[in-house]
Amino acid sequence: MKLNFKKLGQGKPLIILHGLFGSADNWLTIARDLESEFTLYLVDQRNHGDSPHSDEWNYQVMAKDIAELMEDEGIDTAFIMGHSMGGKTAMNFAMLYPEKVEKLIVADISPRHYPVHHERILEGLNAVDLENSKSRKDADEALAEHINSAPIRQFLMKNLTRKDGGFAWKINLKTITENIEEVGTALESDNTFDKPTLFMGGAKSDYITDKDREDIDRFFPNSHIIHLKDAGHWLHAEQPDAVARTIRAFLVEQNA
């Protein structure tokens, strides 16, 4: 699977993986803050953004996609970071390819199982009549019947693109809908990842709780957990400066 990605900056490679329904562009603001210190790879995971679509969609194959990208780019080791679904990909990658990871950052997700909670979003996305939508406004109005939040709709609408005179979703909506349970699966491995690991949560989010510490310590014994003030699950959008500072402190300043 040849993933689409954006590359910018200079320095040690830092690969950043977005969350569900997201894309590489979600982390562009953070990347521009860090590009003087790292070569950043902002990746569209399979079935997202401009990367290929596939019926096969789980964390094992998504981790292998990252390994293939690193091989293609001649990267022996990298800093790996992922948010939400991307964090699950990053954790699985660290278990499968520990020799390729220098340090790991997991943003607002833990190794545990998460129940499906995207039903309304999927209902809304599937309800959009792409063939008969004349404008992005038509699509937004259809989404609004299922999703009240304008910021969430704005985020989802980034996946809407023009195609053959009409509209299409960049995401592989069919496969994601049919396999949505895969997003919440728990990390399963007999291995541990012993290199430095940071779990960075939002103080207003419940994705990383005190109850998750046992699982985190079991899989990632050389880890610590922080929660960013005034940030929820979308911490990179809500507190971009704090996220960039935290990444820099963990990856650079701790090595000084």
- The DSSP H or E segment spanning 144 is helix 136-144
Is 23 among the residues known to form the active site? no
> What pairing do the DSSP bridges indicate for beta strands 38-43 and 5-9?
antiparallel
Q: What angle is formed at CA 91 by the lines to CA 88 and CA 96, rounded to 5 degrees?
A: 125
Selecting among 84, 110, 205, 223, the annotated active-site residue is 84
Cα 156 to Cα 104: distance, rounded to the nearest angstrom: 27
Selecting among 18, 48, 83, 233, the annotated active-site residue is 233
Is 118 among the residues known to form the active site? no
Contacts for 102 with CB less than 8 Å, ≥ 6 apart:
12, 77, 78, 79, 195
Q: What angle is formed at CA 235 by the lines to CA 232 and CA 239, rounded to 5 degrees?
A: 110
Take residue 122 and report the two structure tokens written for it.
């999927």
Cα 117 to Cα 110: distance, rounded to the nearest angstrom: 16
Cα 100 to Cα 80: distance, rounded to the nearest angstrom: 9
Cα 44 to Cα 40: distance, rounded to the nearest angstrom: 13
Q: How far is CA 101 from the centre of its chain?
A: 17
Q: Which residue has the tokens 């954006």?
A: 6
User: What is the chain's alpha carbon radius of gyration, rounded to the nearest angstrom?
Assistant: 18
Q: Are 228 and 243 in contact (CB under 8 A)?
A: yes
Active site residues: 84, 233
